[in-house]
Amino acid sequence: MNKLKNSGVFSALLLSFALLGCSDESANSAGTDGTGRGGSTARMTISGDYLYAIAGSDVQLFTITNPQMPNPWTKVRVDWDIETLFPYGDYLLIGAATGMHILDNTDPGNPVYIADFRHARARDPVVAADGYAYVTLKTDPNGFNAIDELNVIDIQDINNPSLIDRLSMQGPSGLSLDGNQLFVCDDKAGIKIVDVSDPSDVSAVDSIPGVDCLDVIAENGRLYVITSDQLLQYDYSNGTPVLLSELAVTGE
């Protein structure tokens, strides 16, 4: 295991990790090739010549034909409590404290609201692939509607999303999907590894204990984990994840 301790490098790497959320939309959708892969808690993403960013109650678009001079394009009003963006094919899935919103992004310069899935008030990252969205609900910090679980939403009919399964969690946040494996940050319970081969009957099959993470990115046997003060890298290509490296801030 390679252990690195350098606060300057750590800060730069955290920024790079966050900016992965600005990658091309194909890169954020599981099972596709692209320029990068964003985390489930990303507040920005890119599709074609447009950058999308959460701005209050809106999704703000910028034209990036000239990357050195991004220009504001238009705003799409969604909801007052939107938090995360995840591109899914020709759609944008938007996680909010009260539900998941869906925008048709067939025309990247003109996203159009088409549907939503409402739930109890909770924090709400989302990822999706192959007709199903996976949403974590975490107890609202103000104590309203205590709920900690993973929801599986059928979005094969994109206009009528429906809940098909749920899995109790301790305090879930970021998540990432690779094939039939869903990695979920679950507070002090660690990282839960969930089998989603049957989306209507998901189950936790393994875990990485003792890792209180904020978000994860899983791809091609590598798992990148961000905590409040570390970036961890695991190899899960042979089953049980093995820690390869950690980058920690020391204050030096």
Tens digits of per-residue pLDDT, 44-86?
998 889 999 999 899 999 999 998 888 999 999 997 788 899 9
Nearest CA to 179 out of 34, 27, 30 is that of 30
Apex 96 CA angle, 227 and 143, nearest 5: 75
Amino acid letter, residue 70: P
Residue with the larger pLDDT of the pair 168 and 96: 168
pTM for this prediction: 0.83
What is the rounded average pLDDT for all residues in the chain?
A: 83
Q: In whole angstroms, what is the distance from residue 201 CA to residue 55 CA?
A: 36
Give yes or no for a contact between 165 and 199, defined as CB atoms under 8 angstroms apart: yes
pLDDT of residue 121: 61
Averaged pLDDT, 89-112: 92
How many structural domains comprise the chain? Answer: 1
Q: What is the pLDDT of residues 132-169, one digit of tens each?
A: 999 998 886 665 566 899 999 999 999 999 999 999 99
**CATH number for 198:** 2.130.10.10
| Owning domain of residue 86 | 2-248
Per the model's pLDDT, the better-predicted residue between 123 and 220 turns out to be 220
Q: Using the predicted structure, report yes or no on whether residue 107 has a pLDDT greater than 70.
A: yes
How does pLDDT run across 3-17, given as a tens digit for each residue?
Answer: 444 443 343 344 334
Q: Are 101 and 128 in contact (CB under 8 A)?
A: no
More confident residue, 31 or 230: 230
pLDDT, position 147:
82
Q: How many C-beta neighbours within 10 Å does residue 244 have?
A: 13
* Alpha carbons within 13 A on the beta-carbon side of 227: 18
pLDDT bracket for residue 18 (50, 70, 90) = very low
Convert 85-129 into a string of H (helix), E (strand) and C (coil).
EEEECCEEEEEECCEEEEEECCCCCCCEEEEEEECCCEECCEEEE
